[in-house]
Amino acid sequence: MSDAAAAVFAVAETASGKVRGLINDGVRQFRGIPYGADTGGARRFQPPTPPIPWTGVRDCFGPGPVAPQVATPLSHIYAQLIYFDLAPTEGGMSEDCLRLNLWTPGLADGGRRPIMVSLHGGGFAIGSGNAAMYDGARLALSQDVVVVSLSHRLASFGFLNLGDLAADGRYQHAGVAGLMDIELALRWVHDHAAEFGGDPARVMIFGQSGGGWKTSSMLAVPSARGLFHSAAVQSGSWLRFLDRDQGAGLARALLAQLGLGIEKINRLAELDWSDILLAQQSVGALAFSPVITPYYLPYHPNTPEAQALSWDVPLVISTALHDAGLFFNLFDLDETGLGDLLARQYGEAAKKLIELYRGSNRSCYLTHAQIITDAGFRRFAHAQAELASAHAAPVYLYQWEWPSPAWDGRYGATHAMDVSASLGNWRDPLIGAGTQRGRELCASLSAAFAGLARTGNPNNALLPPWRAFDPIKRATLILGGQTEVIDDPRRGQRLFWRDMPPAASVLG
């Protein structure tokens, strides 16, 4: 390669062939590298396999295809803020979706940098690692780390429990195929760490919302133990998988939508993927998630057996103050409307809720969003932190409270604000597109995540001393108008939800 070309292009060797990326400010950027083979046809619903080798040099300048999915409607303003309406167009759509993007300050230079693997949000149904919020260039540049984002199978393509319907065992892993994709990507990262300037002994997985669900899930996968050494779960504490009967019920419903009986289950491999996509939309794409299986995922994440798998993994757990606001558009809600809504949802407990949350927010919409967040997201995050705090490795808790300037602040400290912040991407409109406070929070949180990846400790000079969480003092880093560590913030509200029966904490 000429000197001029070496300043623009970067070439790396993978087990499947050479890849060529671009260099920007010293960061080598590769997009769309295959880490697995096409999952269509006969490979549909099967465990992933390594990519088919290629000859010559493969250009990896742009993102690869994403898993089949349906775009979030343009009318959903919040979804547009996080670019979810663009997800199916960010690289095209195909079952050949096992691709990753990688950013590194150096290639084969002995750098042994921490490797930070970002798992995308969108539940288990939509999204991809190609979205702008997961761009790893700035994190790689500012923190001298290797960053990886990836795409994998989603919804029925990745989490359809056919194993309990087919007697021959052909589909025994279909209910966890999407998690197996992530594990394969982590094995790819481990095997190629040195080539891309990273350290296979310092791999961190992290993700927000659905990415947090996936991170929580990987902590409970026995075969993934040792493939990562620290983790962060942002607004995605996942404590229980689908039982096999629940998963089998969804599979039967999908087969019925396709006009197939169980005796014709093998015809699934012959269908066009678009037919399956349409059928899963009728069943409900959001219903699909990992299924308990004795062959791969034997434990729910909240069991002692699953917890033992991650006893030595330092962990960050978080929520945003108004996480649940993404589910609602009740921006004109008033005091009377809020009282009526809470009475329908929580009965007599509504009066206590009004007392607990009166004056907490500048709008009734945000108060309702905080209440539903506390009932679900935050309740589950506290439960996960309590379980993990018994481990040998520390767990750190934070709460994002700085309100988004987007749409004149109506969304408050909303869901996904800390995604770009954790990667240092200050240009995200959710975090102010370059406002001073937005830049400060991006700098401090990205440094914390890089510190966790590097040493297992997120403390850095941009934060006050961040103590590990324990169930008594419950130290929590607050990222708001100012950054501070508070013991057991909003204790009264937390205790209310701790004492509520589970059925009363669901959205309804």
Residue range 446-454: mean pLDDT, rounded:
98
Do the domains 3-306 and 315-505 sit in the same CATH topology, yes or no?
Answer: yes
Q: Where are the domains of the chain?
A: 3-306, 315-505
- Around Cβ 295, how many Cβ atoms within 10 Å? 12
Query: Treating both helix axes as pointing N-terminal to C-terminal, what angle do 273-283 and 244-257 enclose, rounded to 10 degrees?
Result: 120
Residue 23 CB burial class (10 angstroms; 0-12, 13-18, ≥19): middle
Distance, CA of 436 to chain centre: 27
Would the pLDDT of 417 be above 60? yes
Angle subtended by helix axes 349-357 and 364-373, to nearest 10: 110
pLDDT of amino acid 202? 98
Nearest alpha-carbon partner for 317 in 227, 382, 224? 382
Averaged pLDDT for residues 298-311 = 95
Q: What is the pLDDT of residue 1?
A: 67
Cα dihedral angle (329, 334, 336, 342), rounded to 10 degrees? 40
| For range 416-423, the mean pLDDT | 96
Bridge partner list, 10? 21
Give dist(CA 391, CA 317) in Å, integer.
Answer: 14
Contact 335, 368 (CB under 8 A): no
49-96 pLDDT per residue, tens: 999 999 999 999 999 999 999 988 888 888 888 888 888 888 899 999
Instruction: Dump pLDDT digits (tens) for 169-228.
Output: 899 999 999 999 999 999 999 999 999 999 999 999 999 999 999 999 999 999 999 999
Q: Which CATH class is domain 315-505?
A: alpha beta
What lies within 8 Å, CB to CB, of 415 at 6+ separation is 78, 209, 235, 320, 322, 323, 324, 325, 326
Q: Place domain 3-306 in its CATH homologous superfamily.
A: Alpha/Beta hydrolase fold, catalytic domain (3.40.50.1820)
For residue 60, which of 93, 12, 26 has the smallest C-alpha distance?
12
The tokens describing 39, both together, are 């999952």
Tell me the chain's radius of gyration from C-alpha atoms: 22
- Give the pLDDT score at 49: 98
Q: Which of 118, 149, 151, 209 is catalytic?
A: 209
Where is 494: in which H helix or E strand? Answer: helix 491-498
Task: Give pLDDT, residue 506.
Answer: 40
Answering whether pTM is above 0.85, one says yes
Given a cut of 50, is residue 261 above it in pLDDT? yes
Please indicate whether residue 389 is annotated as part of the active site: no
What is the reported pLDDT for 89? 82
Distance CA 205, CA 228 (A): 7
Q: What contacts 169, CB < 8 A, 6 or more positions away?
A: 163
Confidence of residue 503 (pLDDT cuts 50, 70, 90): very low
103-137 pLDDT, tens digit per residue, is: 999 999 999 999 999 999 999 999 999 999 999 99
Helix axes 364-373, 335-346, angle to 10 degrees: 20
Q: Left, alpha or beta for 373 (phi > 0: left; psi -120 to 50: alpha)?
A: alpha
For the stretch 371-381, pLDDT in tens is 999 999 999 99
Q: Is the pLDDT of residue 2 over 80?
A: no
Alpha-carbon distance 315 to 389, whole Å?
Answer: 9
**In Å, how far are 128, 279, 423 from 271, measured between CA atoms?**
23, 11, 39
Q: Report which residue type is found at 54.
A: W
Give the per-residue pLDDT at 502: 60
Q: How many CA atoms lie within 13 A of 221 on its CB side?
A: 24
CA distance 291 to 393: 28
Which residues lie across from 23 on neighbouring strands? Answer: 28
